[in-house]
Amino acid sequence: MKIFDKISKYVTHAAGRPAAFITAFSVIVVWGITGPIFKYSDTWQLVINTGTTIITFLMVFVIQQSQNRDTLALQLKLNELIASQENASNRLVDVEDLTEDELVVLKKFYIELSALAKKEKDLYGSHSIDDAVRVHTAKRKRKSSPKGGVEQSPQ
């Protein structure tokens, strides 16, 4: 596997360089120019079709492996950021392993949290729906009580 990782990393890096594009473009131009020489024969067409199909087939696997590695690295970095924040919810660590249904539930949670945050106009005040509801309720009570938010005790 390590040899495939090394080859994949090298090929992905090389394929993303301008020289790779220029080479591929040049091959197509040369192929096009040779069309009249070969009288646009079936063999002439088969050469480019076969070549591009093989390269595309192999590149799919190389690029997918590279993308998997990059995605995993990104997920680990995000997990580290989440874990390092005192007020962050650790429920998002390894969120990529949730099922589609669980992701939908989590999305609804954050939509509700966002709606509560918009009401409060405070992006940093709460980190859970329970906290947001509690803060929102407390603010409403303070606003509705007499004397600027200080509740009077009955005498």
Q: What is the pTM of this model?
A: 0.58
Q: Confirm if 113 and 132 have CB atoms less than 8 A apart.
A: yes
Which two three-digit tokens encode residue 59? 């590149």
Average pLDDT over residues 108-131: 72
The closest of 70, 65, 68 to 3, measured between CA atoms, is 65
Look at residue 132 in the predicted model and tell me its pLDDT.
Answer: 64
Which two three-digit tokens encode residue 34? 């040779």
Q: 67-92, pLDDT tens digit by residue? A: 999 999 998 898 888 888 777 777 77
Average pLDDT over residues 118-138: 67
DSSP 149: T
